[in-house]
């Protein structure tokens, strides 16, 4: 067995470390993505956050928001203006945005109960 010169060996070790780091960072990104939006108009939500949406029965005391509708193909910045992005539902007083697979996503227009 031949031992490569120190310069080649150092490059191989560095490349292996960089490849391992890329795998770890890619896995962290993949598993930290929010779940896809799984709500429809008429659903009720217990809570909303950037990572979690909990659908509950609308008759439940836990129901805090009613889903009025969804607006597709919007940016996160669009979601900051509830009255603009959710204008087809004038009673909307809250919303949240969820990324689909890029910089555009869906705005869920809500009414606090």
User: Domain coordinates of the chain in residue numbers?
Assistant: 1-32, 44-112
DSSP strand pairing (65-74 vs 53-56): unpaired
- 21: burial class by Cβ within 10 Å (0-12, 13-18, 19+)? exposed
To the question of pTM greater than 0.75 for the whole model, the response is no
Does residue 68 or residue 2 have the better pLDDT? 68
CB within 8 A of 60, min separation 6: which ones? 44, 46
Over residues 76-108, the pLDDT tens digits come to 887 788 888 999 999 999 888 877 555 788 888
- Nearest Cα neighbor of 108 from 86, 91, 77, 81 is 86
Indicate whether 73 pLDDT > 70.
yes
CB within 8 A of 93, min separation 6: which ones? 82, 110, 111, 112
Token pair for 6: 């120190």
| Residues 63, 50: Cα–Cα separation, whole Å | 18
């Amino acid at each position: 067995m031949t031992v490569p010169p120190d310069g080649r060996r150092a490059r191989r070790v560095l490349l292996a470390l960089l490849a391992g780091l890329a795998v770890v960072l890619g896995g962290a990104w993949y598993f930290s993505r929010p779940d896809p939006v799984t709500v429809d108009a008429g659903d009720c939500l217990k809570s909303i956050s950037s990572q979690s949406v909990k659908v509950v029965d609308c008759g439940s005391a836990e129901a805090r928001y009613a889903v009025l509708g969804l607006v597709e193909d919007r940016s996160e910045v669009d979601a900051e203006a509830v009255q603009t992005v959710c204008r087809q539902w004038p009673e909307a007083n809250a919303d949240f945005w969820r990324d689909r697979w890029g910089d555009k996503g869906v705005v869920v227009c809500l009414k606090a109960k």
